[in-house]
């Protein structure tokens, strides 16, 4: 299977085989849904027996038998009434309930393989022998249609490939990912913490992690100054009417914390987005075309009430800080400003070591009613975004470009940056969004006075190169396996004394390096130097500087690099210059 599409088809077929195997082995199994997910598939079952991982070999053996039978997948299409009768006849009540909700459907498609019949739109592979390797991966709980009021289901995850070699490579990648798990490394290296007493999904940035975050903030702030932004601060809470005007409430009601009622009757909301506050900054005085583009930025904290089962370390949280910015500009400035936002995002990601990425243009689904704003403005916004990105793609600035319908924000189309980490995993990080809706008379009714002395509506661009500091940091930990490059490292160099009698010289070196702005520590314990070096390596300190009699006499250190090994005796001034230049250049 050489393409993602063909691999998806293979895995969807494997999901059917898995469901068929479970039904053969256990009585009274009700089928729910069995879609593909990243790197595999799952199927949800309502059944009396409780599955455990000890059942996996038995189920896998049954799947192997079904593959050996090599029976074809046969497509069947039935009128909706006949589809209901078929499902009732085979006792699949969950599927009956689902079909009855498909009021607009004239016909329903099924796939049959032997005695197994399942509601499915397809497609499938011709015969199961195309599945070269498969494996059951894990179990989880779920609710029918995601509603806690509905029956609880058992979710069985699996994966499949065209060859055993591909499966083996995938399993090796999973093992490496476990070693790099940011939750494990974050705890071991004291970068961040999660504490139930604080609350699920709320991050405690520990001192070492806070250093890394501060370097990221400093880097972004430098770029903001270079690119003409003004930084602001706004509250993490706002009157609910502000979010009703923006449309975030009730559009995102399920993912927002409940409103906070006040004694005077007002209601407030922990903000799920920064943009309404930034819009109010724009509205603090009349604006002229001479003021535009007006670029404002904030490291703004927002809150989303994610379900507890969806929380995951730093990558899925309830409180997070975005490197957010909003640009208010004239229509004729849109393309230049949008391009500048993309260029900044490219620079940020490449500086962090994410050179392998693609850009996904997320457009409107014209059959959906979830979007706000006129069709004319949507078409104008999408045309501008596509023109900029296609131009940059043709010029070689964007390596990959795809258009996906139905993934736009409710107020406008966007360009999302999907990066590949060192393990080949893909993450959606930075985003740039074009918005004709929030500035409109139906929303915030934003204006500026044009050169013709008449009022005009500005266009709004939303932009966040990292996305959120929490999620980005979690991904960064795994990408570097917590071995951060020098400019980000919580501790950049550690001075190790051969014995305590060289503590005075070690302190002098420490002072000199601290004065140069390096993050440095001194280990003057009575431990053997070999033990100190091993500890420094385990702590992933980029540089170790050993000092003894010769170094004290020569004003030098014996320098060791985490990447390059022993560098020999180097003068203290030369070490300071070397490390300072590496930090300045943000060497990876």
Enumerate the active-site residues: 275, 304, 322, 324, 326, 414, 462
Contact 541, 513 (CB under 8 A): no
Residues facing 411 on adjacent strands:
none
Instruction: Kindly state the tokens that stand for 462.
Output: 């939303």
Contact 156, 139 (CB under 8 A): yes
Instruction: Give residues with Cβ within 8 angstroms of 220, minimum separation 6.
Output: 299, 323, 348, 465, 466
> Phi/psi of residue 121, each to 5°?
-90, -15
> Phi/psi of residue 560, each to 5°?
-125, 130
| Cis peptide preceding 293, ω within 30 of 0 | yes
- Report which of 38, 67, 54 is spatially closest to residue 164, judged by C-alpha positions: 67
Contact 575, 559 (CB under 8 A): yes
Instruction: Kindly state the tokens that stand for 391.
Output: 């131009």
CA dihedral 513, 514, 518, 521 (to 10 degrees): 90
Mark out the alpha helices in 180-323 (DSSP H runs).
Answer: 182-188, 207-226, 240-246, 248-251, 275-282
Q: How far apart are CA 80 and CA 84, in angstroms?
A: 6
Phi/psi region, residue 45 (left: phi>0; alpha: psi -120 to 50; beta: rest), is beta
């Amino acid at each position: 299977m050489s393409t993602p599409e063909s691999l998806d088809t293979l895995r969807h077929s494997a999901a059917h085989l898995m469901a068929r195997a479970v039904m053969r082995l256990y009585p009274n199994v009700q089928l729910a849904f069995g879609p593909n997910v990243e790197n595999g598939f799952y199927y949800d079952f309502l059944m009396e027996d409780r599955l455990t991982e000890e059942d996996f070999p038995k189920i896998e053996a049954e799947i192997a038998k079904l593959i050996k039978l090599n029976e074809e997948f046969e497509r069947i299409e039935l009128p909706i009434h006949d589809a209901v009768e078929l499902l009732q006849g085979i006792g699949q009540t969950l599927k009956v309930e689902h079909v009855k909700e498909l009021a607009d459907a004239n016909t329903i498609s099924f796939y049959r393989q032997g005695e197994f019949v399942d509601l499915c739109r397809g497609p499938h592979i011709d015969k199961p022998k195309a599945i070269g390797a498969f494996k059951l991966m894990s179990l989880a709980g779920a609710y029918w249609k995601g509603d806690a009021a509905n029956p609880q289901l058992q979710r069985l995850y699996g994966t499949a490939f065209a060859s055993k070699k591909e499966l083996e490579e995938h399993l090796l990648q999973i093992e490496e990912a476990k070693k790099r798990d940011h939750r494990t490394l974050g705890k071991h290296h004291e970068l961040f913490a999660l504490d139930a007493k604080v609350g699920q999904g709320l991050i405690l940035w520990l001192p070492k992690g806070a250093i890394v975050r501060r370097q990221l903030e400093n880097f972004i702030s430098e770029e903001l100054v270079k690119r003409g932004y003004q930084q602001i601060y706004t509250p993490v809470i706002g009157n609910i009417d502000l979010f009703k005007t923006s449309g975030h409430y009730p559009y995102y009601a399920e993912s927002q914390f409940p409103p906070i009622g006040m004694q005077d009757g007002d209601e407030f909301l922990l903000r799920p987005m920064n943009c309404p506050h930034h819009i109010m900054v724009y509205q603090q005085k009349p604006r002229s075309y001479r003021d535009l583009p007006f670029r404002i930025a904030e490291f703004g904290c927002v809150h989303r009430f994610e379900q507890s089962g969806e929380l995951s370390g730093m990558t899925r949280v309830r409180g997070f800080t975005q490197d957010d910015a909003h640009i208010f500009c004239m229509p004729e400035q849109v393309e230049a400003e949008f391009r500048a936002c993309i260029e900044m995002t490219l620079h940020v990601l490449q500086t962090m070591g994410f050179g392998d990425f693609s850009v996904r243009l997320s457009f409107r689904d014209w059959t959906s009613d979830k979007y706000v704003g006129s069709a004319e403005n949507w078409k104008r916004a999408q045309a501008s975004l596509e023109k900029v990105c296609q131009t940059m793609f043709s010029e070689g600035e964007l390596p990959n470009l795809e258009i996906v319908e139905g993934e736009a924000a409710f107020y406008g189309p966007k360009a999302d940056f999907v990066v590949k980490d060192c393990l080949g995993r893909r993450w959606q990080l930075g985003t740039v969004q074009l918005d004709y809706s929030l500035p409109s008379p139906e929303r915030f009714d934003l204006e500026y006075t044009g050169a013709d002395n008449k009022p005009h509506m500005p266009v709004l661009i939303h932009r966040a190169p990292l996305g959120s500091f929490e999620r980005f940091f979690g991904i960064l930990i795994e990408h570097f396996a917590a071995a951060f490059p020098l400019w980000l490292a919580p501790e950049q160099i550690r001075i190790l004394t051969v014995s305590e009698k060289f503590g005075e010289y070690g302190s002098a070196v420490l002072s000199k390096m601290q004065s140069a702005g390096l993050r440095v520590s001194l280990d003057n314990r009575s431990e053997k130097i070999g033990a100190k070096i091993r500890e420094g390596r385990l702590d992933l300190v980029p540089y170790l500087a050993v000092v003894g009699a010769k170094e004290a006499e020569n004003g030098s250190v014996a320098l060791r690099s985490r990447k390059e090994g022993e560098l020999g005796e180097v003068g203290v001034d030369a070490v300071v210059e070397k490390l300072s230049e590496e930090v300045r250049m943000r060497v990876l």
